[in-house]
Amino acid sequence: MSSEPLAADHLSPSSELILASGSPRRRELLGGLGVTFRVVTADIEEISRFTDPAHVARDLAEQKARTVAAREPHALILASDTLVALDGVLLGKPKNAEQNAEYLRHLSGRTHSVFSGVALLEPRGLESDGVSSGSVSSGVLASGVEQTEVTFRSLSEAEISYYARSGEGLDKAGGYGIQGLGMALVARVEGDYSSVVGFPLGLVMRLLRAAGVPVWGQS
């Protein structure tokens, strides 16, 4: 399920696209879209004034974009944030194998939601039309969020401890990577798979094209 991205069709293509992310997954997926970009990481304290996960994911993506825009005033900035939520609780990146195992026990046999927010900011864009895009002090922002439902198998304690000790889940929201070994934890995915990996490609493509950036040769 995806919210309609806030359109930014009044934006003109910028000379350079920056991916505001240290995530190798996002780098690889954006590279696959055939666009030229540079990476600048956005280290923010991931705190939001919102409480519901969809708003939080979008807000954190926007914060990352703004943080990089302050340093890169001439480029189009793309940022993303991925959250895992179960029973109203957000599961971030586990601090260690023990916490990773706790997360997996919580997720075992149940369906959780993954929210990926995406923000595209043109720091020197035109003023907002006040309807479909947000005007920020440094430019014009377009953003959206994608929600995917993921169901875990019922995991045995041995499986939980094996996976937690693998270390794969440590740098990932919810403590697992669906694109890796974590695939074996999952019984079902409903929605956009790429969003679980951290970069909802359909949404990213729509936002880039609306900003005048051709994707797969199509604007």
By C-alpha distance, which of 114, 111, 44, 47 is closest to 79?
44
Q: 43, 52, 59, 81: which is the annotated catalytic residue?
A: 81
Q: Which residues bind ligand TTP (CB under 6 A)?
A: 21-23, 25-26, 41, 64, 80-82, 84, 114, 172-174, 176-179, 182, 196-198
Q: How far is the CB of 127 from ligand TTP (least distance, A)?
A: 28
- Answer whether 115's CB lies under 8 Å from 198's CB: no
Whichever of 152 and 176 has its CB closer to ligand TTP, that residue is 176
Q: Using the minimum distance from each CB to ligand TTP, give the nearer residue, 114 or 208.
A: 114
User: Cβ of residue 217: shortest distance to ligand TTP, in angstroms?
Assistant: 26
Q: Which is nearer to ligand TTP, 26 or 58 (CB)?
A: 26
Residue whose CB is less far from ligand TTP, 7 or 44: 44
Minimum Å gap between C-beta 91 and ligand TTP is 9
As measured in angstroms, the least distance from the Cβ of 219 to ligand TTP is 25
Residue 81 annotated among the catalytic residues of the structure: yes
Q: Which residue numbers are catalytic?
A: 81
